[in-house]
A and B are shown apart, each in its own frame.
Chain A
Amino acid sequence: MRILFLTNLYPPLLLGGYERACANIARGMVERGHEVRVLTTWSHLPLPADNPAWVHRDLDLHWYIPHKSSNSTVDIRDLHSAVCSSYANTLHLLNSLRGFRPDVVYVWNLTGIGGAAILDLLNQVRVPWALHLMDRVPVDIAVNTPPAVLGLFNGQGSALYGRARILSMSQHLLDEIEALCGIAFPQGVELVPGWADVSGALPHQPYLRDGKARFVTAGSVAEHKGIDLILQACARLKAEGLAFTVDVFGDGELPRYMDKAKALQVDDHVRFLGLRSQAELVRLYAGYDAFLFPTWEREPFGFAPVEAAGCCTPPIMTRNCGASERLVDDVHCIKIERTADELIDAMGRVAAHRVDLARIGRAGQRLVTTDLSFARCLDRIEAALRAHAHPWQHALADDPTLPLLAFLKHNLSVRLRFL
């Protein structure tokens, strides 16, 4: 297949699992012999030496910019370009459709590149396209664009997505999208969970070595990932005299949380160790007893706890986050309500040998190396794309008036946005 990936961010520029997953799947498809092109945004970071030639960084990015303007009009203009229409990006997509002639367009996160206009163009030229949901992309478009403007792109209700093959990493995410903006996908959805490649994992070390519990977490160091809850729990457990440590891997609000750890007097138990590659983390998990994941309820899935589970390190995770659809409580993980009390209770039970960590660790590893393996998920994605790809009329993309139509829509959208 000729697959055109469309994504807002691509390594080395990334925010989290969504972009990393896109890159992994693109590379996986290349390794399976598919002809791949990735259309994404610029990177101001140095590109790796092995940066593939099939990654085209032509798009402009109107979001995730380090500084925000103090001028609200500028902010709204950026938001419009980010979620609704960026004319230059729409043209770049059109050029890719004309030049690459994909069998299928595989759409990932659109925030920042003018999603409504981009999806509208895909619908107009009737190219088969699939949308992989790992976050609430349709909500970002719908709630940040006035209805009259959305109407230019047939973006009312679910119409924009009617021709797409939808893949979602959780039902939880689909429910959230429907609840927040009423968009449903009556054509059906392929649920493809988050996956892990734990082929580099080391044999797990004995649990609770020397009578000490070693906890770990990895990801964005931010409130929504539950870092505050973890620090609160540490303070209580330290006061109770428990022997434990928590290692925090990842980037984010490090200074704030390092200060908070000091203020709570847990900096002797909690270490902030910065970013690590996935491969490094997979090797490191073997030395930990449990993975802390008290993330917000709207977490679409969460790759990190799956990776930890695949390394026999049981996750302690929010009961109703996306990954909880795949991991069973007390079988593959320990589920908690997202409160400090429940987190403290779960960490306390682990430290007190009241959880059979080895049994849960083995079950988690079995699940991840079968159902949630990268190869298995890639199989499912490949099959979904193949089933959806079909010959389409290239003449529709070659219509010389398409740039004019996109121009008209873009400028009307701006006119109607800024009355």
Chain B
Amino acid sequence: MHSPLRVAHVTPAYFSPDSVVGGGERYVYYLAQSLRVAGGFEQCVFAVGAEDKRFEHDGIPVRVLRNESPLPGAMDAFSTALWRELPSFDLVHVHQSLTVFGAYTIAIVRSLGIPVVGTDLGGGENELMLSRGGMELLDGVLSISRYAHNLIAKFFSGRHEILIGPVDTDRFVPAAGVVRNHCTVLCVSRIMPHKGIDRVVAALPPGLRLVVVGQVYHDPYYELLRRMAEGKDVRFIHDADDTTLLVLFQSAGLFVQASTAQDVYGNTVAKPELMGLTTLEAMACGLPVAVSDTGSLPELVADPRFGRVFSGQTDLSAILSEVSEGTWPGPDAGAHARAHVVEKHGMETIGRRLAAFYRLVSARQGQPG
């Protein structure tokens, strides 16, 4: 009987209104949950915050360490308490590894001689970690998509794994007995230019309704969307809670993720959509999807029966026309979507592969050379 491998997840922020409510922070919890499903591990999540505290999140212990960084950004936070908190762990997974937080934390973990895995969640592009070679200090890299991996592949020569997910397929499920409104198109994202919501509004044909769920992070863009929506059936929801969102996933006819590398104002986005977790959650609820060919999004949609990829306004208009006319998606699209997510991106699959990767890295690190 092997003793459980002790894994520390270290992240600059934690998913909470007290810290940051973002995909990167939620991802860490999900990953820990998937590893718990796999079994054989003891875990703790370490985050940095305004003050020290401890709590549990779905059975995973969370330890918040006081931020000691003189820099103001959330991705620049760090704690020297890691020197005393980490030595008992067998492996440390540093999330947001391409930030000041990541560089500082990796320096500590490597100094302690503990195997370290890094993951870029889009929080930064620290030069020391990339072009100056810092990534080579990692014993393993876990990427959240092939696209994310390709962005960093030339900076790292060691072990890597690509895991897209996990998705909580117990929580994100189709609703029994609910009839979908096939004329409702759903967009869920922060309202920001690079999310490309304007492209969906512009392509929306008569007969379809668009529901945009998300908080406003860019007022001029929101005003632009409202003007574009005049005369169309568009509704904005800014205060949807988890339950409302789930109901929308379970009742809409199509989910659209229209992120773009160049927004409506002409601005270029460096790393758009490293992983479209919301898209996967929609699919887990049996909702067919249409995604842009931006970032990692095409990787999520492997089968045209439940998902389509568009590269521009014309493509998207054509897809929405098919939806409006009822020629796509087919009646089994939702079932295919869910089956795909459960098999490829579910907790069990991701947990099993993650466990294997952690064991590989921790075993290899102890070998000479």
Q: Which residues of A contact B (CB under 8 A)?
A: 120, 123-124, 146-148, 150-152, 154, 156, 159, 395, 401, 404-405, 407-409, 411-412, 415-416, 419
The answer to whether A415 touches B106, judged by C-beta atoms less than 8 angstroms apart, is no
With A405-B107, A408-B106, A408-B107 as contacts: A151 and B80 at CB distance below 8 Å: yes
CA gap between A147 and B110 in the complex, in Å? 20
Residue of chain A at shortest CB distance from B79: A151
Does A408 lie within 8 Å of B83, measured CB to CB?
A: no
Smallest CB gap from B133: residue in A: A404
Q: Do A412 and B110 have beta carbons less than 8 Å apart?
A: no
Given contacts A405-B137, A408-B137, A412-B128, contact A146 B70 (CB under 8 A): yes
A152 engages B136 (CB within 8 Å)? no
B132 at the interface (CB under 8 A from A): yes
B69 and A154 within 8 A (CB): no
A-B contact pairs, 15 of them (CB 8 A): A120-B111, A123-B111, A147-B68, A148-B68, A151-B68, A151-B83, A401-B136, A404-B136, A405-B110, A407-B133, A408-B134, A408-B137, A409-B107, A412-B100, A412-B104
Instruction: Output the nearest chain B residue to A123 by Cβ-Cβ distance.
Output: B111
- Which residues of the partner chain B approach A146 to less than 8 Å between Cβ atoms? 70
* Interface presence of B64 (CB below 8 A): no
Give the Cβ gap from B209 to chain A, nearest Cβ, in Å: 50
Q: In the complex, what residues of A have CB within 8 A of residue B100's CB?
A: 412, 415
Q: Does B177 contact A (CB under 8 A)?
A: no
* Alpha-carbon distance A124/B110, docked complex (angstroms): 9
A240 to B71, CA, bound (A): 64
Q: How far is the CA of A46 from the CA of B132 in the complex (A)?
A: 39
| Given contact pairs A124-B111, A405-B111, A419-B70, A156 touches B133 in the complex (Cβ within 8 A) | no
Tell me the nearest residue of chain B to A151, going by C-beta.
B80
Q: Report yes or no: B111 in contact with A412, Cβ–Cβ below 8 A.
A: no
A-contacting residues, B67-126, CB 8 Å: 68-71, 78, 80, 83, 100, 103-104, 106-108, 110-111, 113
With A147-B68, A412-B100, A415-B100 as contacts: A407 and B107 at CB distance below 8 Å: no
| Contact residues of B between 38 and 68, Cβ < 8 Å to A | 68
| Minimum C-beta distance from B80 to chain A (A) | 3
- List, in ascending order, chain B residues with CB within 8 A of A150's CB: 80
Measured in the bound complex, the distance between the Cα atoms of B107 and A124 in whole Å is 11
CA distance A4 to B150 in the complex (A): 46
**What's the Cα separation between A412 and B71 when bound, in Å?**
12
Best-buried of A124, A146, A151, A409 by chain B (most CB within 10 Å) = A151
Kindly state the separation between the CA atoms of A411 and B71 in the bound complex, as whole angstroms. 15
Instruction: Say yes or no: is B368 at the interface (Cβ < 8 Å to chain A).
Output: yes
8 nearest interchain CB pairs?
A151-B80, A408-B134, A154-B83, A409-B107, A405-B110, A148-B68, A408-B107, A404-B133
B contact residues around A120 at 8 Å (CB): 111
In the bound complex, CA of A301 to CA of B137 (Å): 44
Inter-chain CA distance A411–B68, complex, in Å, is: 18
Which A residues touch B133, using CB under 8 A?
404, 407
B70:A408 contact, CB within 8 angstroms: no
Q: Are B368 and A395 in contact (CB under 8 A)?
A: yes
* Shortest distance from the beta carbon of B364 to any chain A beta carbon, whole Å: 14
CA distance A415 to B113 in the complex (A): 24
- Per-position contact with A for B129-144: 1 when CB-CB < 8 Å, else 0? 0001110110000000
Q: Which of B289-310 contact A (CB under 8 A)?
A: none
CA distance in complex: A405, B128 (Å): 11
B136 and A412 contact, CB distance less than 8 A: no
* CB within 8 Å for A148 and B103 given contacts A124-B111, A395-B368, A408-B128: no
Q: Which residue of B lies closest to A146 (CB)?
A: B70
Residue of B with least CB distance to A396: B113
Would you call B70 and A411 a contact (CB within 8 A)? no
Q: How far is the CB of B74 from chain A (nearest CB, A)?
A: 16
Complex contacts, B69 vs chain A, CB 8 Å: 148, 416
Least CB distance, B112 to chain A, in whole angstroms: 9
Among A147, A148, A156, A408, the one with the most B-chain Cβ atoms within 10 Å of its Cβ is A408
Known: A124-B111, A408-B128. A156 touches B83 (CB 8 A): yes
Most buried by B among A150, A412, A419: A412
Evaluate contact between B71 and A407: CB separation under 8 angstroms. Answer: no
- Select which of B71, B80, B111, B134 is within 8 A of A404 by beta carbon: B134
B107 nearest CB across to chain A (Å): 5
List, in ascending order, chain A residues with CB within 8 A of B111's CB: 120, 123-124, 154, 405
A residues less than 8 Å from B71 (CB atoms): 416, 419
Chain B contacts for A408, CB-based, 8 A? 103, 106-107, 128, 132, 134, 137
CB nearest to B83 among chain A residues: A154
What is the chain B residue whose CB lies nearest that of A150?
B80
Chain B: minimal CB distance from A92 (Å): 19
Residues of B within 8 A of A159 (CB): 83
Bound state CA distance, A152 and B70, in angstroms? 13
Q: Which residue of B lies closest to A120 (CB)?
A: B111
Report B-chain residues with C-beta under 8 Å of the C-beta of A156: 80, 83
How many Å lie between the Cα of A127 and that of B119 in the bound state? Answer: 32
Contact B103 A412 (CB under 8 A): yes
Closest chain A residue to B139 by CB distance? A401
Q: How far is the CA of A269 from the CA of B104 in the complex (A)?
A: 62
CB contacts (< 8 Å) of B113 on chain A: these are: 124
Chain B residues, Cβ within 8 Å of A409 = 107
How far, in angstroms, from A412 to B108 measured CA to CA in the complex?
A: 12
Rounded to whole Å, the gap between the CB of B5 and the closest CB of chain A is: 23
A151: which B residues are within 8 A, CB to CB?
Answer: 68, 78, 80, 83, 104
How far is B136's CA from A147's CA once the two chains are assembled, in angstroms?
27
In the bound complex, residues from chain B placing their C-beta under 8 Å from that of A415 are 100, 128
- Name 17 extra pairs, CB < 8 A, besides A154-B83, A416-B71: A124-B113, A151-B78, A151-B80, A152-B107, A156-B80, A156-B83, A395-B368, A401-B136, A401-B137, A404-B134, A405-B107, A405-B110, A408-B134, A408-B137, A411-B132, A412-B103, A416-B70
A419 CB contacts on chain B under 8 angstroms: 70-71
Complex formed: what's the CA distance from A169 to B289 in Å?
Answer: 75
A404 CA to B111 CA, complexed, in Å: 12
Are A412 and B107 also in contact (CB < 8 A) when A151-B68, A159-B83 are? yes
- Shortest CB–CB separation between residue A413 and chain B, in angstroms? 10
